[in-house]
Each structure stands twice: as C-alpha cells, then as structure tokens.
Chain A
Amino acid sequence: MRSCSFVGSRLAVHHVRRSLRWFIYLLASLVGVVAFVYPFFPRIEADAGPVVQAMDSPLFLGLLGGLSLLALLLETQDGVEASGVSGETKRIALLGVLVGLNAVLSFVETAIPGPGGFSPIFFLIILGGYVYGGRFGYLLGALTLFVSALITGGVGPWLPYRMLIAGWIGLAAPLMARINRALRVQGTRWELVVLAVYGGVWGLAFGALMNLWFWPFATGPAEQHWQIGISVWEGVQRFLAFYVATSLLWDLARVAGTAAMMLLFGAPTLRTLRRFARRFYFEVRQCASSLSQGELSA
C-alpha cells in the first residue's frame, strides 16, 4: 500500500533569483522616479541635435514611465517557482477578487462623495501588500487603477503613472511589516498607527507625484525654462508653490481618509486577511512510509 503526504511547496527559491527580483524592482522604480523628476533638471546642450532634443519632450517621460510600469508588472506577476501551479492559481483568483472589490470601492466613493481627494482604495492596497507580500501588493495597486479605469471609461494619459504609484504603495508595504516586527508592535494598536502613517505619507506622495506629472504640461518644454534661466532649485520652488496652492488640501483629505480607515477598519481587516492567508498557502510535499490499519482507525 503506497502512501504519500503533501506537506509544503517548493520553498527553496534560489537566493540569487530573489536578489535579481529585488534588483529589478529597484531599477525599474528608479526609471519611474526619473520619469517624474526629469523636467527639473537642466539640459545644458540646447542644440545637441533633434534626436537628443526629443528626449526633452513628455514623450520621453512617457517612455520611461511605461518601461518602468511594464518591467514591474512583468516581474511581479511571475511567481510560479515560488508557489507552485496551484498556489499561483490561488493568488491569481485572490488578486482578481480583491481588485474587483477595490475597483467597486473606488466608485462607491464617487457615489457617496467624500471630502476632496479621499479615495478608499489605498487601504486594501496597503494591507494586501502588508499581509500577502510585495508582489501581491504591487499587482493589487496597479491593477485596481487599471480595472477601475476600464470600467468607468476613464482610460487617460495619466493612467500608467497612477498605476505606477499605486503599485509602489503595495510593493513597499512589506517594509512596514519588517519595521513593525523590529518595533515589536505586531498585534497591538501601534501596528495600525505605523500603517496609518505609511498611508498618510503615500497619500501625500501620490498627489505630489501626480502633480509632478502634470507639471511639465503646465509649464511647457524644459528648454524654454533654461533659456529664461531658471535653476533647478527655483524650478522646485515653483512646483511646490503650485502644489500647495492647488492640491495640498485635496491630498490632505486623502491622507486623513486613509489614516482614518486604517485606524477604524484596520484591525478586523488584518485579522480576516491573516486568517485567509493560511488557506492560500500551500504545504510542502513529503513522502512518508505507509500507514498501518491502527493509524487509520485512530
């Protein structure tokens, strides 16, 4: 009588592969960051030829943003080695359902208007990344914005950038897990406070980065600036003034809203997500010797 027991999945993910993965995250994110801040930096050679000059247009920034997004999506969606076929299917199904739920949340919010830029979607993105890992968080963030745009007919030129930022929020969430473990606050109220602060920082950053995206449109091609002679620092100052004047209030509403959600709803949501985490993770395979009749009826 042959018998075999399944006790776990192939957890031995090669360490090299793991570091490769994080290197890609870093590089791709850097490219994305460059896409946002590039307009501030002076290009000295104003007459370096049309091809080089083409790099100053928003097209180039679009390319950078797009590359960053695609590279991150490509890397985060690939998890078969880590979880096995069955585990990956569970992740895909779980992601699908949570993205759907988050997308519904995002337009429930427009039906019941909250103040300013309050958006309930960041709550789940942060907690999803926190409990289920950076890969999961990234996809939850990016795809929530993607699906929500598809459903509401709001696919616009800003979509890849919003996806990028929302993804970062989920990707970096496990860092908070590490911090919380170091601070030993897991299971206490302070865990939520840390997450609320995280959400607050990103709430501001989201607004700031999206304004950064809009900034080149508002101010025009970069070389015109430097013909007029504005330095990097002055450019940043102008941007900050613009930001404070236009969307700071909006973003503060987002910060407050996300923090409130975290503090009010975070505990039961975390408990629920952790409870289900057990069912989604797979056990490692191991062959035991055959069982006796006595063991069977025990």
Chain B
Amino acid sequence: MTDVIAFDHVAFRYPEAESRHGSVSPWAIADVTLTIPAGAMVLVVGPSGAGKSTLLRCINGLVPHFTGGTFVGRLEVMGLDPIAAGPETMCRHVGFVFQDPEAQFVMDRVEDEIAFALENAAMPPPEMHARVEEVLARLDLVSLRHRPLVTLSGGEKQRVAIAAALALRPRILVLDEPTSQLDPQAAEELLGFLARLGETSGLTLVLAEHRLERVLDFADLLVYVSGGAAPVIFGDPASVLSQVDLAPPVARVGKALGWSPLPVTLAQGARFAVDAMAGRKVDDALLRRDRGDEGADQQAAARPPILEAAALQVAYGDVPVLRGVTLSLYAGEVTVLMGRNGAGKSTLLKSLIGLVRPQQGHVWLVGRDTAGVAVADICREVAYLPQDPNALLFADTVREELNITLRNHSLEPSQVPVAPDALLAELGLADKREAYPRDLSVGERQRVALAAITVTHPKVILLDEPTRGLDYAAKAGLIELIRRWRAAGLALLLVTHDVELAADVADRVLLMVEGRIVADGSPWDVMGHSDLLAPQIARLFPDAGWLTAEEAAAALMNAGDGTT
C-alpha cells in the first residue's frame, strides 16, 4: 500500500509566535513524523489548541500559504510538495471541509456552490455539468440541488461542503471537526456517510474530531496530537488510546479494570462487560444514584422552587411550539432538559427568561410573576447562556465585558456580592483579565460569557447547549463549574444533547417531545434504558444502574470479582 501523505520531522510556527517568549512553546506543531496509506480513514485527536487544525492544513498547503509563518521539514502529499505547490495546485488532490457550515459558502444555491470551484478552474462547461451531476449523486444531494443553502440543515450543509470539495476529484479528503457544530443525530449521520464514502470510493479520509465515541467505529488509524514539543503518537486506535488519557467511556473502564486488548468501541467492550457482570447480583440499592446525601434531596423537594413555569403555551404564528409545559427548578439542583431538535427546548429557556412571552401560562421567579417584567430585570436573577456565546462578546478586554453588564444594570462593582475580579478568578480567567475576548479559545470564551452573565450573582443559571465545540478538557472544566454552582445553592437548567454530560452532572432529567415534557425523573429512570439517550456505559452494562465510566469502574473494582 502506497503512502499518500508523508510527514518528515515537520514543525511549524505561526507568524505571531515569532516574538513570543516564555515557557509556552512557539511551535504550533513540532517534529511530526507520520505516514498515511492510501484509502485509510485517519482520525486526528487531541485537546483544543494542540495543533490538529494546523496539522490538517499542512496537507493542502493552507499552512503556510494562507497563514504565513515558518515551516520546517519535509512533507509529501500525493507525490507533491504542498509548500512549493500551494493550495491552487493541491486543491485538485486534497479536498478540505471546515468546521462551520455557515462560513464556507460563496454562492447561495447548492448546484452553484458545487460548480464554483470548477468555474474558477476554467473547466469546459460540458465537463462541469457532468462532474456536478456525479458529485450530487454521490453525496445524495440530487433532491436538494435547487435549494437555497439557507434552507438546509447543518448536516445537509456539510454534505454540500463535502460535495464542493469533491467536485475537483481529489484523492484525499481532509475534514476539520465537521460535526462539532451539529447535533448528535446529524453528526452520526454525517460520520456514517463519510465512512461509507471512504469505503466505496477509496478516498483517503483524514478527520479531526473531539468526540471519540462517534468515530472510533470507523477509524483505521489514530493520530494523537498533544501540543507543544510533545511528539505525535500515531498508530491503530487501541494502541494509541492505551497510551493517552483521552478515551471514550468504554476505554476508560477498560483501562481501569485492565481489559486487554483495550476495547475502544461498544462492540469490542461488550464481551468484557458480559464477563464482568456475570455472577453479580443486581443490587437495588445500587440503582440509587449517589449524588450527595439523600436527606438533602428530600429537603430540596420540600423547599419552594426558585423558578417555576406552569402550563406554558407558546406559538410562533400558527405553529405551536410549547404545548403546556410545567416545570420547577430548585436551589442546589441540576436539571437537564433533553429532546430532539425542534422539540422546543430553546423556546422553553427563552420563555423562562422573558425573551419569549407565552400566549398562556405563567412563569414565577421566587414567587413573583414575570409577566410584564422586562428581560433586563429578569436577567439579574436568571442568567442565560445562549447557544452561541460569541453573540455576547464585543469588548476590548475580559474585564470590560463584566463592566458592560454592570453598567447595563446601573450597578457599581461594589454593589454585587462577588467582586468582578474574584468572579474571574473563580472561573479561571484571572490571568486573562486584559485579553481580547474574541482571541481566546472556545472554552475560555464560554467562561467569559458566563462571567458576563453571572456578575450580578443570579439565583438561576440556564445553559443552552454549552458543550458544543468544547474538547474534553474544557468540558471537564465546565462540569467542575456546574458542580461548584450547585454546591453554592444555585438552580441550574441545562439543555443538551450530550448524554455523557447529563450522566455526569444531572440530578434530574426532563425529556421534551414536540412541546411537551414527557418524562421527569432521576437520570437513570429517564436515560438508563432509553434507546436514544442511554450513555455508552448504560449500553455496555444494561440494568446495572451506572451511567458513567467512573461509577462502573469503582463499583466493579470494589466488588473485586468479575475481572478478566
């Protein structure tokens, strides 16, 4: 099998890093040596900012032709040198798909977008038409060909982006986190599609992804990039994952219990799990999730709810979105709201904070009806983190963002219970006080947004899809924050598709279908057996009552039996 991509001691440094000093290495990638055979599906993983994107962009010459900087080493792709050839030549051999489906399109119709690259390559029209037909068929877009791109879903848009990249018939397709802006179902579909594409067309696929659970089924090779001067680890999935911390739940359990060869997918872990569970009695007591003392749970139920909604009905024009939703949020409790796209979850959050006023029903905040209260007043007590926190940030420094919120509420920094600087320290942003918020990483930006909305010390925090685009480290930081808020007595409501997150933090889970709440209970009750919602561990160990790898590993290790 020939190697189509060969890195040989490649290092790269961005132009801004030229003058950087200190402990942080200026090299975005350092001493990368790896080879990729033709037809392989390669997964590139690692923490945010480690250099995955840089690595991928070397393959088609975007680095350094688009970004500038210093490039060291040898790189060969399809027999060409991307540095010498540049993206104009490499585009015929390497197709590239980016993360944000909104920001990749020049034209506004599907067909025109696909033809754009061909027009620019001065291809004769008959050949152009043939290629467009071919690509539309391959990516299952024929029924969508005349549609305006704004009317497509995220998954469909990414398919169009893939189609546009494949129009030039490259042999390699590189995708930089194509599913991070999509919901899990669309992500599953897209990844399945890519896997089939790789198999049937012989394309070499190089994919950067955060969430391993989705993709390990398909990957032939894994490249782990940890950042800075650490070398890149490269090989088949099981061996790479055994060397690194990053791993899906099944692998984490496997590592803790010493399963070998390390299972990385559900299928591989199944037989280990069955053996481990053999002979164990399913203890009813184990089914009770231990989240703190049970006494406190019962006390919480007796306390009055901080935020309450009753029989909310919301319709946009003629279309009903919420059909009588009733829920209560209590202090010191984390509630997770799950449901498919379009079920009305975001609308519910917005009506809780007053952005959307219900046609019927009431919302009470600490006993007071919020009808007629301005959003600006409600948000002093109820903080809401929108899906895209970038919409909040526009100040020159992080500290200024907090000041803006204070000024909006006509508050002095001395008038809030927690001083703004202390708040920044709590959120881990103390050293970023003077940084430009839009320059920070996704996780940091989210925390700046959180700081900006919690500076007034609210009693309730509503989070809308907070884990979109976050890597494992940032997610762990968020979970830590949520736990701290819970301990401080805030009421939290999370809307998320991320079942692993829900498994980690939820005290209560609500399931919403078509504008109604159809399930409300403990995490195990709602998610444990659900086809759609069960986390990987629950699928691995059905009926055991565990939702996270840590619980399963702890329980199995304590039991002392059943390990292989």
Contact = CB atoms under 8 A, between A and B. Distances in A.
A binds B: yes
25 contacts: A1-B74, A3-B70, A3-B72, A3-B73, A4-B83, A5-B69, A6-B68, A6-B69, A6-B70, A7-B15, A85-B86, A86-B65, A86-B66, A86-B87, A96-B106, A275-B436, A283-B68, A288-B70, A296-B27, A296-B30, A296-B31, A296-B229, A297-B30, A297-B229, A298-B25
Interface in A1-51: 1-8
Contacts of B87: 86
B116 interface: no
Contact of B72 (A1, A96, A268, A283): A1
B11 interface: yes
A2 B87 CA distance: 20
A290 interface: yes
B92 interface: no
Contact of A290 (B25, B64, B72, B106): B72
Nearest to A9: B68
A96 B68 CA distance: 23
Nearest to A85: B88
Contacts of B9: 1
Given A4-B83, A86-B66, A296 B11 contact: yes
A174 to B, nearest CB: 24
Q: Of B31, B64, B74, B436, which is in contact with the most chain A CB atoms at under 10 Å from its CB?
A: B64
Contacts, number: 51
Contact of A283 (B15, B30, B74, B229): B15
Interface string A256-298: 0000000000001001000100000011000010110000111
A96 B30 CA distance: 36
Q: Which 7 A-B pairs have the closest CB atoms?
A: A283-B68, A5-B70, A3-B72, A6-B64, A6-B68, A291-B72, A297-B229
Contact of A2 (B11, B30, B69, B74): B74
B244 to A, nearest CB: 21
B396 interface: yes
B218 interface: no
A209 to B, nearest CB: 33
Given A1-B9, A85-B88, A296-B30, 6 more contacts: A6-B15, A6-B70, A7-B15, A85-B86, A275-B436, A291-B72
Nearest to B62: A86
Contacts of A8: 68
B68 A282 contact: yes
A96 B105 CA distance: 12
Interface in B48-81: 64-66, 68-74
Nearest to A84: B65
A3 B83 CA distance: 10
Interface in B281-304: none
Contacts of A291: 11, 72
A3 B81 CA distance: 12
Contacts of B396: 268, 271
Contacts of A283: 15, 68-69
A7 B27 contact: no
Contacts of A271: 396
A96 B71 CA distance: 31
A147 to B, nearest CB: 13
B31 A4 contact: no
A96 B108 CA distance: 13
Contacts of A1: 9, 72-74
A251 B161 CA distance: 46
B68 A4 contact: no
Nearest to B13: A5
Interface in A227-272: 268, 271
A268 B394 CA distance: 9
B318 to A, nearest CB: 23
A183 B74 CA distance: 51
A271 B71 CA distance: 31
A190 B66 CA distance: 36
A282 B64 CA distance: 11
